[in-house]
Amino acid sequence: MRIAEIAPADVGSWLPRAVEHMARVRVASGALREGHLAEYKMRKAAMFRVGVPRDSRIFTSEAGEWMWLRLGDEPEVVASRITGDPAPWVRKIFATCDDRPVAMKVFPGERGLAELPSREISERLAVPISDVHLTSTYDDIHVRSMTAAELDTFLERTMRSADRHLALASGSCPMRGSWDVLMKARERLSDGVATPGHALMAICVDSTTIGGMWVEIDGKDARIWDLHVYEGYRGHGHSKAALLAMAEGLKREGVHYLNVTVIAPNTGAIDIYESVGFRVTARHVVLELPTLAGLIEL
């Protein structure tokens, strides 16, 4: 099979099909909602208004398969549609990226490159807020706004935990830079507990603060940046109860959807989110030459 870089004259006919495929995969997984579909398509198409972006290369085959690579310090397979043997495409990836690890976002139900052996870095989970539920009764907790002192404690402990999990996930990880936002939380929370658009809540049992939650609200969507129950208070369902309490509060504020990104080795956190109704909508993975060497040599 011949794989060739797309000719400039062919970009116009390839682009609508590629954008439609990317949108369909994301809608099917729950990563993209129908209400955001038109905006997503316009944004992707706009990236090609003067041809293939400077940092990108598009490869196609006679069978209509294709792959979009973004190069640079952190190579990435942005998207692909491959229905046949992935081996020639794997060879093209590593030849183009100088045998470096290559990041990729994959979606549930996706075929082709998504089925290759890979090292998982993170999972993105989402849920309609009305679907958040508890399957058991847990000890009563309540949530309230954090104080400035509680925020300092929360950030110190969550950053330490995130760094530990990321170190387990990363190795030679071309996606570590994507977590800089979390590591630089104090910069994002420019006004501390009063930062607009952010809800910073203490998780309490009676008068004792046992953890905290950090949520960023954007219209009908809310992103959970972190949920952390401190050591000594875990194993009693407090995280699940806090998620339900948080969801009920955000629902009253007009939030319809929750999402969270969890570093993949933190399986405990992933299990907690899935147990209250979240489901995986996307995974960030890394393709590495040693793992896929057999395909390269075919």
Q: Where do the domains of the chain lie, and which CATH numbers do they carry? A: 3-116 (3.40.630.30), 125-282 (3.40.630.30)
pLDDT over 70 (residue 184): no
What is the average pLDDT score of the chain? Answer: 90
Going by the DSSP 8-state scheme, the letter that residue 257 receives in this structure is: E
- Structure confidence by residue, pLDDT tens digits, 215-257: 999 999 999 999 999 988 988 899 999 999 999 999 999 999 9
CA distances from 224 to 63, 147, 219, 278, 287 (A): 42, 19, 14, 12, 27
> What three-state secondary structure class fits 265?
coil
Q: Quote the crossing angle between the two packed helices 87-96 and 289-297, to the nearest 10°.
A: 120
| Tokens (6 digits) for 230 | 């401190």
Nearest to 101 by CA among 295, 292, 293, 287: 287
- Structure confidence by residue, pLDDT tens digits, 24-62: 999 999 999 999 999 999 999 999 999 999 999 999 999
Which of 100-114, 121-135, 157-171 is predicted least confidently? 157-171
Question: Which residue's structure tokens are 């129908």?
Answer: 34
pLDDT over 80 (residue 170): no
Nearest to 212 by CA among 158, 134, 132, 291: 158
Question: Which residue's structure tokens are 């870095």?
Answer: 121
Going by pLDDT thresholds of 50, 70 and 90, the confidence category of residue 178 is very low
Tell me the mean pLDDT in the region 115-131: 95
Sequence letter at residue 179? W
The Cα diameter of the chain in Å comes to 68
Nearest to 138 by CA among 272, 6, 271: 272
Nearest to 244 by CA among 198, 294, 201: 201
Cα 9 to the center of its chain, rounded Å: 34
Nearest to 234 by CA among 258, 277, 203: 203
- The answer to whether 14 touches 66, Cβ cutoff 8 Å, is yes
- The answer to whether 28 touches 109, Cβ cutoff 8 Å, is yes
Residues recorded for the chain: 298
| Tokens (6 digits) for 139 | 């000890």
Nearest to 79 by CA among 40, 122, 112: 112
What pLDDT was estimated at residue 263? 87
Going by pLDDT thresholds of 50, 70 and 90, the confidence category of residue 162 is low
Q: Which residues contact 114 (CB under 8 A, 6 or more apart)?
A: 104, 106, 107
- The answer to whether 203 touches 212, Cβ cutoff 8 Å, is yes
Going by pLDDT thresholds of 50, 70 and 90, the confidence category of residue 69 is very high
Exposed e or buried b per residue across 222-250, where buried means at least 16 C-beta atoms within 10 angstroms of its C-beta: bbbbbbbbbeebeeebbbbbbbbbbbeeb
